């Protein structure tokens, strides 16, 4: 598609439950990025992929967070045993190329609310 599609738009989970977010990048874009935005503040980089391979995971919490980009499937970000502090808007972005200074195109985000 011509837009980054994120689902669901809003996800509510009880503390300790699992949350799974999905992202379909723009067709033809090789790079996918996940960001966490808390209280409309700065974007915390989580992880990026080049096609199905992890490109940079330096922002990814070592515990509880995992992500995948499998061929012919939307990318996913999964949080195990959610905590209250995981409440945030999670944005996915895609770009044609990481190394060619391409802009990142963002999806509308998934608002995760942990109760």
Partner 1 sequence: GQQVMQIPQYQHVQEGEDFTTYCNSSTTLSNIQWYKQRPGGHPVFLIQLVKSGEVKKQKRLTFQFGEAKKNSSLHITATQTTDVGTYFCAGRKAAGNKLTFGGGTRVLVKP
Q: Which residues bind partner 1 (CB under 8 A)?
A: 33, 35, 40-43, 45, 48, 56, 58-59, 91, 93, 98-101, 103-109
Tell me the Cα Rg of the chain. 13
Select 8 or 16, whichever has its Cβ closest to partner 1: 8
Shortest reach from residue 43's CB to partner 1, in Å: 4
Select 14 or 103, whichever has its Cβ closest to partner 1: 103
3-state secondary structure of 86: helix
| Farthest-apart Cα atoms in the chain, separation | 41
Question: How many residues does the structure list for the chain?
Answer: 115
Shortest reach from residue 17's CB to partner 1, in Å: 26
Contact 56, 32 (CB under 8 A): no
């Amino acid at each position: 598609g011509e837009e980054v599609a994120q689902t669901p738009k809003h996800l509510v989970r009880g503390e300790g439950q699992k949350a799974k977010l999905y992202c379909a990048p723009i067709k033809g874009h090789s790079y996918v990025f996940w960001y966490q935005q808390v209280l409309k503040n700065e974007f915390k980089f989580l992880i990026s992929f080049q096609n199905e391979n992890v490109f940079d995971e330096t922002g990814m919490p070592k515990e509880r967070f995992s992500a995948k980009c499998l061929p012919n499937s939307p990318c996913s970000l999964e949080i195990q045993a959610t905590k209250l502090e995981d409440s945030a808007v999670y944005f996915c972005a895609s770009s044609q190329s990481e190394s060619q200074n391409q802009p990142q195109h963002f999806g509308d985000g998934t608002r995760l609310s942990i109760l």
